Structure 1
Amino acid sequence: MKSDWYKNAIIYQIDTALFFDADGDGCGDLQGITQRLDYIRGIGATSVWLTPFYLTPFRDGGYDISDHLRVDSRFGDVADMVMLVERAEELGLHVIIELVLQHTSSEHIWFQQARRDRNSPYRDYYIWADTPPEKDDAPMFPGVEKSVWSWDEEAQQYYRHMFYHHEPDLNLSCPKVITEIERVIVFWLRMGVSGFRFDAASHMVKQAGQGSEEKGYDLLTHLRDFISHRRPETLLLGEVDVPAEKYRNYFGNNNRLSMLLSFNLNKKFYVSLARKDATALLQALEELPSPPFRACFANWLRNHDELDLDGLSKAEKRDVMKSFGPDKNMHVYQRGLRRRLAPMLKGNIKRLAMAHAVLFSLPGTPVLRYGDEIGMGDDLQLEERNAVRTPMQWSDLACAGFSEAEPEKLIAPVIDTGPYRYQKVNVNASLIKDDSLLHRVSKIARARLGLNEIGSGDYHVINTQNTAIFALRYDYGKDGLLLLANFCSRQVTAEINENDIAGLIECLADKEYKQSGTLMPPLSITLNGYGYRWFSIIKARDK
């Protein structure tokens, strides 16, 4: 197996409980995912990322884990996970699973033992205080949680929880906790998974260092070393929402995380979408630090959480909120939006396809959230982030073809009203329409698979003298790429003045243009409103 396979991967993110229900109990499961792996491979993905399937009370979408070594019965059993990995391997798909180390469920046996007895060996697994410190981090869910400290009547102490009060923080400076984590890692490596996504990695680091990030990085170094000795090709993907200048600390010198979710690019992407101007995204690309040679970034449009806008300027945040969150009901946690991509872009297929073309153009690995490829909507009647966590819409059959259960038994309601209702937006309907978003995204993904320049090459921004145009060039050895997209609705022209370009060979476009195929200088390239065009570069020979 190639050790840096993830640099040229396409990751498809799945909510385990919401993708497909194979046993008809109303909840998505591992067998259901296995049955739909052909679909995922068919749209061009090379990896699947599964949200937690471990034993859980399911008060936080499964991220509240009560046993990291057991599969929750609603999702299946260990044998189902083995069969999923087996089928994925047959199809050439890697399987990435969540490693949630920052906290557990309050129902975890560790916490239950810890709260009962101060002398329990599990007491040190969590963070306790007789009196909470005067200064500490603000809770991750303001408006829902008042503090990161809660009183436990049974323990007669306060315990710390960065997230919900039913998710106590693990004491990651405790050696026994690290030993437990190593057991979890070895167990799932032996099951054949290809990678782990470290949930809340920046908070995990801070906890490991007892408030000091510098000390906490040692945990990442240790885990990378531990895993590399067993499976050196394993992906370690980190959820790291920190300023871009801190990214290097999480990569280390190829000895910490191998991939970071680039929140900075994601936020700036939405500034450019809101303004119909590529400037913010292109500036963010120029400011992005280069990862070590074995590492890369992961990019996405939407995920299973809120669209976090922290870190943007007041003007940038205002513009994004005005365009994509005009109603207060769309806001959450005083920092972001609880919306899916398609409703934010008003279901405009051309614009949605352009956004995906830009996503697949960015340096690093693209992550596609389930349902975005067909333009699924959100359900703002659901609380908090659950608005973007609705069942996959497979067909216009009852319950969107997600489950044969009665609607009232579904783990989450399907969207059955409005322009994004499952009767209108579903996989089956998308498959039979040649110009559907699904076909456009799949075409983009398949084009991306053959272009290693994006995953492995160097890039630089090209100034086309038009702020609506996204223009990026990659060079990888003798090969080169020119990737263009138009963020606005009117037709534009990109003037390309690169001295070493002798010609361009078109390899992807939103439609056939009057001048297409092979283009020769002078390069004046037309782009439709929300259009996109990719070219291989014919480089001039040195004289």
Structure 2
Amino acid sequence: MEKQWWKESVIYQIYPRSFKDSNGDGIGDIPGIISKLDYLKELGIDVVWLSPVYQSPNDDNGYDISDYRNIMDDFGTMEDWELLLKEMHGRGLKLIMDLVVNHSSDEHQWFMESKKSKDNPYRDYYIWRPGKEGKEPNNWQSTFSGSAWQYDETTEEYYLHIFSKKQPDLNWENPKLRQEVYDMMKFWLEKGIDGFRMDVINFISKVDGLPDAPNPDEKKYVSGSRFFMNGPRIHDYLQEMHKEALAEYNVMTVGEMPGVNVEQAKLYTDETRDEVNMVFQFEHVDLDSGPGGKWDLKPLKLTDLKQNFTKWQTGLQEIGWNSLYLNNHDQPRMVSRFGNDKQYRVESAKMLATFLHMLKGTPYIYQGEEIGMTNVRFDSIEDYKDIETLNMYDEKVNQNGEDPKKVMESIYVKGRDNARTPFQWDDSEHGGFTTGTPWIQVNSNYPEINASQAVLDEGSIFHYYRKLIKLRKEQPIIVHGRYDILLPEDENIYVYTRTLDAQKLLVILNFTEDEQSFPVPPDLHEMKSKVLISNYEPAQEYSSTIQLRPYEAIVYLLDMR
């Protein structure tokens, strides 16, 4: 496998609306990000992935873009953005931008033209169909509830929207549309960005004829998903995109790909195929969902998590590359979901970070993860802002008469706003995020959990992340070593090794609040060892049996010579 800068990097995701507000309007902005670049530099990350800052009516928090070449007023100006890039590059930080081209906003100029008439030159930039027997063209469901089709009276036809009705899907069958996208990508690449995170990029190719989904379709995703995920021309489009837009730039690409499996991911990320460098897959964040999908809560079994991570680690060992994450702007906070955000918040946050950063692949840190920010419990549905959450609540409670308390419990566990509450900078009002009224409430635990406190405390989660990131720079085994799992059936501890040349890492993780013991296999006993990192001080000496404290993580570097 070739060495690449993006394999050795650690990436930090910024959700700009919630990161830092500079002007008191309650909305995070680009000057706010610039003011915190030294904090990111101190953390040690290499790359920032910036969630969308393009012009948008904000139906889906910026993932509905009305102008791909301009900055949203809420966030600042193009001059602000150019200064951000300059300030980042000056600190040795790279910037990757979000690319949202499965759909645009219905307020994009292309769509406004497209809906004027059936013979408008832009008509074919979107997916329009006549109805069938007075109903929608097919039975596909939107991922945000309801039909995936919206009727438009002007031309008496329906347009497809896999997401909100304000997010019409672009028609990738149209070569003109594809060229527009590549030109737009080059516009940003010429400005000097370092790559793209590609939003639901495996949705851009739909099955010919847009057939009805067999009813009921498999519940794991929405009705019709098998016809728009990983479609028939997806590899052609990605290879064309690489050739037309990306090939002449030394940039990284990561494709967000719901519903992708290991074999498909190998094709997408095989370095000889020129598609994308890595994918975001979602299998591990579906493990605590019941048959009814995301909002149908079920307890997570550690053996399921192990089996899943092991499948991806070994599957992409020789061909391809993994993205490593446990939370992002669409997922709940990882310490609340996979750890213990009460009594063992610090220990379990460090344990989960160790788990992720010692795996093979590129780690992604979501803003606030490095200080152990937690899920939020707002009192009322009125306090929530996320369109997916609000649509689901309306459908379940107002339309289907389900128990509001039970529905709120699902939101507390899985809602996207868990990740979107403002970053907790200090213990001043609103956590130092804004001097105004924040667009969404700050989590009430900001006086105890905030960045200024974490930076001052050498034993904090923040400083533990700094150590993990530094180790990645110093130890090639963390980037390139082979992964193997031990004790795959154990429900309490996760143990794996990484091997490179004459070195081995032994990574031991207690996923419980009880003490556990790990008997070290005889073949590893006799090796010379040193503790690379541990979330308890003092760290345990290497011995034939390792006694683990609650949520303990310990990594030994073994010398096999």
TM > 0.5: yes
| SS of match in other structure, 2:73 | coil
Residue of structure 2 aligned with 1:354, choices 326, 351, 355 = 351
Q: Which aligned pairs between 1:229-240 and structure 2 lie closer than 5 A?
A: 229-231=247-249, 233-240=250-257
Shift of 1:147: 0.4
Is 1:260 aligned to 2:279, yes or no? Answer: yes
Correspondence for 1:219: 237
Shift of 1:370: 0.6
Shift of 1:275: 6.5
CA distance in 2, matches of 1:514, 1:414: 36
Shift of 1:228: 4.0
Instruction: Please identify, of 165-174 and 238-247, the stretch whose mean Cα deviation from structure 2 is larger.
Output: 238-247
- Is the 2:57–2:64 Cα contact (8 Å) retained in structure 1? yes
Shift of 1:270: 9.6
In structure 2, the CA distance between the partners of 1:473 and 1:526, relative to structure 1 (3 Å rule), is same
- Is the 1:493–1:527 Cα contact (8 Å) retained in structure 2? yes
| SS of match in other structure, 2:424 | coil
CA distance in 1, matches of 2:538, 2:301: 22
Correspondence for 1:340: 333
Residue of structure 1 aligned with 2:140, choices 125, 137, 142 = 137
| SS of match in other structure, 1:61 | coil
**Structure 2: which amino acid aligns with 1:512?**
E
Any idea what the Cα deviations from partners look like across 1:179-216, whole Å, max 9, x if unmatched? Answer: 11111110111111111011012212437997572322
In structure 2, the CA distance between the partners of 1:343 and 1:480, relative to structure 1 (3 Å rule), is closer
In structure 2, the CA distance between the partners of 1:148 and 1:515, relative to structure 1 (3 Å rule), is closer
In structure 2, the CA distance between the partners of 1:209 and 1:508, relative to structure 1 (3 Å rule), is farther
CA distance in 1, matches of 2:299, 2:127: 44
Is 1:366 aligned to 2:363, yes or no? Answer: yes
CA distance in 1, matches of 2:113, 2:545: 69
Q: Which runs of 5+ in 1 are unaligned?
A: 307-338
Shift of 1:171: 0.3
Question: TM-score scaled by structure 1?
Answer: 0.83
Shift of 1:452: 2.8
Correspondence for 1:525: 546
Any idea what the Cα deviations from partners look like across 1:411-468, whole Å, max 9, x if unmatched? Answer: 33323x3xx2x23321112223333332333333333343332322221112388542
Shift of 1:276: 8.2
Shift of 1:342: 4.0
Is 1:196 aligned to 2:196, yes or no? Answer: yes
Question: TM-score scaled by structure 2?
Answer: 0.81
In structure 2, the CA distance between the partners of 1:266 and 1:8, relative to structure 1 (3 Å rule), is farther
Is 1:392 aligned to 2:423, yes or no? Answer: yes
In structure 2, the CA distance between the partners of 1:197 and 1:205, relative to structure 1 (3 Å rule), is farther
CA distance in 2, matches of 1:284, 1:450: 28
In structure 2, the CA distance between the partners of 1:250 and 1:443, relative to structure 1 (3 Å rule), is same
Is 1:78 aligned to 2:78, yes or no? Answer: yes
Is 1:287 aligned to 2:311, yes or no? Answer: yes
Q: Which aligned pairs between 1:298-313 and structure 2 lie closer than 5 A?
A: 298-306=323-331
- Is the 1:126–1:168 Cα contact (8 Å) retained in structure 2? yes
Any idea what the Cα deviations from partners look like across 1:314-354, whole Å, max 9, x if unmatched? Answer: xxxxxxxxxxxxxxxxxxxxxxxxx4334443332212221
CA distance in 2, matches of 1:136, 1:113: 27
Is 1:427 aligned to 2:476, yes or no? Answer: no
- Is the 2:335–2:348 Cα contact (8 Å) retained in structure 1? no
- Is the 1:472–1:483 Cα contact (8 Å) retained in structure 2? yes
Q: Which aligned pairs between 1:393-412 and structure 2 lie closer than 5 A?
A: 393-404=424-435, 406-407=436-437, 410-412=438-440
CA distance in 1, matches of 2:245, 2:208: 18
Is 1:248 aligned to 2:266, yes or no? Answer: yes
CA distance in 1, matches of 2:209, 2:354: 40
Correspondence for 1:319: none
Is 1:68 aligned to 2:89, yes or no? Answer: no
| SS of match in other structure, 1:97 | strand
In structure 2, the CA distance between the partners of 1:44 and 1:295, relative to structure 1 (3 Å rule), is farther
CA distance in 1, matches of 2:555, 2:54: 41
In structure 2, the CA distance between the partners of 1:469 and 1:277, relative to structure 1 (3 Å rule), is farther
Residue of structure 1 aligned with 2:486, choices 450, 456, 462 = 462
Correspondence for 2:393: none
Correspondence for 1:450: 474
In structure 2, the CA distance between the partners of 1:275 and 1:497, relative to structure 1 (3 Å rule), is farther
Correspondence for 1:18: 18
Shift of 1:514: 6.6
CA distance in 2, matches of 1:217, 1:14: 29
CA distance in 2, matches of 1:514, 1:3: 33
CA distance in 2, matches of 1:512, 1:150: 59
**Structure 2: which amino acid aligns with 1:257?**
V
CA distance in 2, matches of 1:508, 1:29: 36
In structure 2, the CA distance between the partners of 1:514 and 1:178, relative to structure 1 (3 Å rule), is closer
CA distance in 1, matches of 2:158, 2:137: 13
CA distance in 1, matches of 2:257, 2:430: 36
| SS of match in other structure, 2:244 | helix
Correspondence for 1:93: 93
Shift of 1:292: 7.6
- Is the 1:276–1:487 Cα contact (8 Å) retained in structure 2? no
CA distance in 2, matches of 1:136, 1:250: 29
| SS of match in other structure, 1:296 | coil
Instruction: Please identify, of 8-17 and 248-257, the stretch whose mean Cα deviation from structure 2 is larger.
Output: 248-257
| SS of match in other structure, 2:523 | coil
Correspondence for 2:31: 31
| SS of match in other structure, 2:360 | coil
Residue of structure 2 aligned with 1:510, choices 518, 524, 535 = 535
Shift of 1:11: 1.1
Correspondence for 1:167: 167
Q: Which runs of 5+ in 2 are unaligned?
A: 211-226, 291-297, 390-415
**Structure 2: which amino acid aligns with 1:29?**
D
In structure 2, the CA distance between the partners of 1:94 and 1:123, relative to structure 1 (3 Å rule), is same
Correspondence for 1:9: 9
Aligned sequence identity (%): 28
Is 1:382 aligned to 2:395, yes or no? Answer: no
**Structure 1: which amino acid aligns with 2:241?**
L
CA distance in 2, matches of 1:218, 1:365: 26
CA distance in 2, matches of 1:205, 1:148: 16
Shift of 1:140: 0.7
CA distance in 1, matches of 2:26, 2:309: 43
- Is the 1:277–1:487 Cα contact (8 Å) retained in structure 2? no
Aligned Cα root-mean-square deviation (Å): 2.7
CA distance in 2, matches of 1:206, 1:292: 30
Any idea what the Cα deviations from partners look like across 1:78-123, whole Å, max 9, x if unmatched? Answer: 2222221222122221111100000001000000011112221111
Shift of 1:368: 1.1
Correspondence for 1:106: 106
Any idea what the Cα deviations from partners look like across 1:263-297, whole Å, max 9, x if unmatched? Answer: 223445999xx978642222123322533868411
In structure 2, the CA distance between the partners of 1:495 and 1:205, relative to structure 1 (3 Å rule), is farther
CA distance in 2, matches of 1:373, 1:238: 24
